[in-house]
């Protein structure tokens, strides 16, 4: 009995340590939540039809083919949450991150000259590589909004087909996230003592991005598809040589999730220095399986989150003013982000709200006459207003149905050199 108790205690203690090691919330990539880069983020995450810099690696790789010089852009980004549940503050972990963007035209000659451009973009949180909190489904949580703490990598190539098909550009690339996989083996060692060994590894997961744009006069049109991007957190607990047989236990679930997305956009330049854009973005949220996974083969399946597909309309404007060696760009936009989640219920307290997203930004570029180098500084801000919502279940220990509301403030800056 003493050995049997010690073995079970070892397993239980190891499980407690693993639970403590699982860090805090995040469920998908930050670029899908807030946009990628200063210009796109200031213009309601548009850019599918008019993107012309490193930001196109996410918005639409076809736009990379508009890049005419090499470039390097670095920046810093952050967000703050002021969300309430039943009138009380609902604490969410605010993201802080840095970013790097790279633009690299390929110097081919002949028919391929000035046609092919490579681009890459990196988003790196200041304190983690990937974070995932797999809570019990009956615990109040926000699996859609809390999705901005993960290293995210995008890369792509854009090709200008003008002359083959006038006005046509195409592009392809990928987004990548990190999955955390591992196992823990508890067994009796050579000395007859119970012990455990834990091994973990980070594994990259990928999703394709494919897009095209077509330009005709003052108009340009764009279409892009982004594949489903997932990142797992999974730790298998295996016991060996114990007096008591325990099944293989799985601690983990879906730590990060981006649904399939299809965005169509039109951009119009009615006069020099003016740009208007309108976009509709469809996301396949109905395929979201939920963050939780069964702990063992005999465990009951977690409840279906019952998410629905969404369509987000977006509009944006940019006014660029030229003064000598300086260009000043003023930007703004609006997005309506409907929630994919139904009202929270007792067995699945997934909290989410429809969001009004207001965006604004300013860009300053400086290029002395006769000099090939161009310096840029861009700033942006977003305000996400959560539409008040009443759910179909009370919080644990309460009798009235939960109510959620609040705001999210997002901002950042980038500086770049292009030559």
Domain ranges of the chain: 2-418
Looking at residue 34, its pLDDT comes to 83
Residues, the chain, total? 419
Contact 28, 121 (CB under 8 A): no
Q: Is a pLDDT exceeding 60 seen at residue 137?
A: yes
pLDDT tens for 289-335 read 887 777 777 777 888 899 999 999 999 999 999 999 999 999 999 99
| Cα(137)–Cα(337) distance, integer angstroms | 24
Q: Which residues contact 62 (CB under 8 A, 6 or more apart)?
A: 56, 158, 159, 169, 170, 171, 211, 212, 213, 222, 224
Looking at residue 234, its pLDDT comes to 75
Mean pLDDT of the chain: 86
pTM of the model: 0.84
The confidence band for 129, taking pLDDT boundaries of 50, 70 and 90, is low
Q: Which of 40-54, 73-87, 289-303 has the lowest mean pLDDT?
A: 289-303
| Cα(136)–Cα(168) distance, integer angstroms | 49
Q: Is a pLDDT exceeding 50 seen at residue 1?
A: no
CATH topology of domain 2-418: Porin (2.40.160)
Looking at residue 336, its pLDDT comes to 97
What are the distances in angstroms from CA 257 to CA 122, 140, 161, 253? 18, 19, 34, 11
Count CB neighbours of 91 within 10 A.
11
Q: Is a pLDDT exceeding 60 seen at residue 26?
A: no
| Cα(28)–Cα(206) distance, integer angstroms | 13
DSSP three-state, residue 398: coil
Closest listed residue to residue 256, CA positions, set 200, 309, 294, 205: 205
| Cα(293)–Cα(134) distance, integer angstroms | 9
| Cα(66)–Cα(167) distance, integer angstroms | 11
| Cα(283)–Cα(147) distance, integer angstroms | 15
Beta-bridge partners for 357:
335, 384
The mean pLDDT of 240-263, rounded to a whole number, is: 80
Closest listed residue to residue 47, CA positions, set 272, 316, 287: 316
Looking at residue 132, its pLDDT comes to 60
pLDDT tens for 366-378 read 998 888 899 999 9
The confidence band for 400, taking pLDDT boundaries of 50, 70 and 90, is very high
Looking at residue 33, its pLDDT comes to 83
Q: Is a pLDDT exceeding 80 seen at residue 189?
A: no
User: Percentages helix, strand, coil for the chain, rounded to the nearest 5?
Assistant: 10, 55, 35
Contact 255, 232 (CB under 8 A): yes
Looking at residue 177, its pLDDT comes to 80
Determine phi and psi for 160, rounding to 5 degrees.
Answer: -90, 115
Contact 381, 359 (CB under 8 A): yes
Contact 154, 172 (CB under 8 A): no
């Amino acid at each position: 009995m003493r050995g049997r108790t010690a073995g079970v205690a070892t397993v239980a203690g190891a499980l407690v340590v693993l639970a403590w090691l699982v860090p805090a919330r995040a469920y998908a990539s930050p670029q899908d939540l807030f946009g990628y880069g200063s210009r796109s983020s200031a213009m309601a995450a548009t850019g599918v039809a008019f993107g012309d810099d490193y930001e196109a690696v996410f918005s639409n790789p076809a736009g990379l083919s508009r890049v005419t010089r090499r470039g390097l852009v670095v920046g810093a980004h952050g967000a703050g949450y002021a969300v309430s549940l039943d009138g009380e503050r609902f604490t969410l972990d605010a993201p802080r991150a840095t970013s790097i963007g790279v633009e690299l035209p390929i110097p081919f000659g002949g028919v391929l000259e000035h046609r092919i451009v490579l681009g890459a973009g990196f988003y790196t949180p200041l304190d983690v590589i990937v974070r995932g909190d797999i809570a019990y489904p009956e615990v109040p949580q926000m699996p859609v909004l809390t999705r901005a703490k993960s290293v995210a990598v995008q890369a792509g190539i854009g090709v200008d087909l003008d002359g083959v098909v006038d006005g046509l550009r195409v592009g392809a690339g990928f987004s990548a996230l990190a999955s955390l996989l591992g196992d823990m083996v508890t067994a009796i060692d050579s000395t007859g003592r119970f012990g455990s060994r834990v091994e973990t590894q980070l594994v990259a997961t990928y999703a394709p991005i494919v897009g095209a744009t077509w330009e005709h006069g003052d108009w340009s049109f764009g279409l892009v598809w982004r594949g489903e991007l997932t990142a797992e957190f999974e730790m298998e607990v295996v016991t060996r040589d114990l007096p008591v047989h325990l099944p293989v236990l799985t601690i983990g679930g879906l730590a990060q999730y981006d649904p399939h997305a299809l965005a169509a956009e039109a951009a119009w330049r009615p006069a020099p220095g003016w740009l208007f854009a309108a976009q509709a973005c469809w996301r396949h949220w109905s395929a979201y399986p939920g963050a939780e996974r069964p702990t063992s083969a005999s465990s009951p399946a977690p409840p279906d989150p019952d998410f629905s597909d969404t369509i987000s309309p977006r509009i944006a404007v940019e006014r660029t003013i030229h003064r000598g060696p300086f260009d000043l760009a003023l930007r703004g936009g609006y997005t309506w982000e409907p929630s994919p989640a139904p009202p929270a219920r007792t067995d699945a307290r997934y909290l989410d709200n429809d969001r009004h997203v207001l965006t604004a930004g300013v860009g300053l570029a400086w290029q002395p006459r006769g000099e090939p180098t161009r310096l840029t500084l861009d700033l942006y801000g977003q305000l996400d207003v959560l539409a008040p919502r009443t759910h179909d279940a009370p919080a644990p220990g309460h009798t009235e149905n939960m109510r959620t509301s609040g705001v999210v403030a997002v901002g950042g800056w980038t500086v770049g050199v292009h030559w």
